[in-house]
Structure 1
Amino acid sequence: MIGQKIKRLRQQKGYSITELGRLADVSKSYLSQLERGIQTNPSLQFLVKVAVPLDTSVQYLLEDSKLEQHGDSELDEEWKILIRQAIEDGLKKEDFHEYLNFIRFQSWMREQNKS
């Protein structure tokens, strides 16, 4: 997951593995292994070094996003419009979390009723 994010960001910046390795002062072979999933647990120091030339945060590199697990690293335009509209209508993050919990509860109740 981390390696995929680094690779995507590197490619968006137009950097080769060699170039990113030089800019971040990290081993290009380790970087390559990370991008290919051979290495999967980079140190925090490594992530800090790589995040700078990629103009990202360590937090972003470490986040485990369900969107990314499904290969959808970007929201489609309809989602963006829905989110903007909800924010403009006054929906707060707390409200959205509460709504998600309600939906999960309803789903759980449906599963319980099937049993």
Structure 2
Amino acid sequence: MIGRNIYEIRLKKGLSLSELAERANISKSYLSNIERNLNQNPSIHIIKKLAAVLDVDLRSLVKTEINEERQQYLDREWLDFINELKESGVEKEQIQEYKTLIEFIKWKNEQIGEKK
């Protein structure tokens, strides 16, 4: 994922692979391997160099990977929740009733929070 981010940012900045490699003082083949995810674990020193040349925050080079992992975790949580509902006997047709109940509970909690 880091490689893809570097690749996309490099293109947005209008830099060739050779230009970025030269400015970051790393070999073109090494940068190519990073971008193609053949080297999926570049050192933090290299990532900092690339971020500096690309004029981006270090986190922007690694954030997609973190967000995708988090999204996959959340998707699994939702799937687990749906499976628990199914196993407990809740039918699809009943979901709207539960949604109404959840909305009422949220409203009630907001009312309690306002009184504090």
TM-score normalized by the length of structure 2: 0.60
Give unpaired runs (5+ residues) of structure 1.
Answer: 70-100
Matched, 1:110 2:82: yes
Across the two proteins, how many residue pairs are aligned to each other?
Answer: 81
Q: Which has the higher helix share?
A: 2
The DSSP-based 3-state class of the residue aligned with 2:54 is: coil
- Largest Rg, 1 or 2: 2
Runs of 4+ with deviation above 2 angstroms: 104-111
Matched, 1:28 2:28: yes
State percent identity of aligned pairs. 38
TM-score normalized by the length of structure 1: 0.60
C-alpha displacement of 1:106: 7.4
Q: How big is the alpha-carbon RMSD for the aligned residues of Structure 1 and Structure 2?
A: 2.6
C-alpha displacement of 1:51: 0.2
Q: Which residue of 1 aligns with 2:41?
A: 41
Q: Which residue of 1 aligns with 2:51?
A: 51
- 1:8-50 deviation digits (Å, cap 9, x = unpaired): 0001111111100111111111000111121100000000000
Cα gap change, 1:40/1:105 in structure 2, threshold over 3 Å: closer, same or farther?
closer
Give unpaired runs (5+ residues) of structure 2.
Answer: 88-116
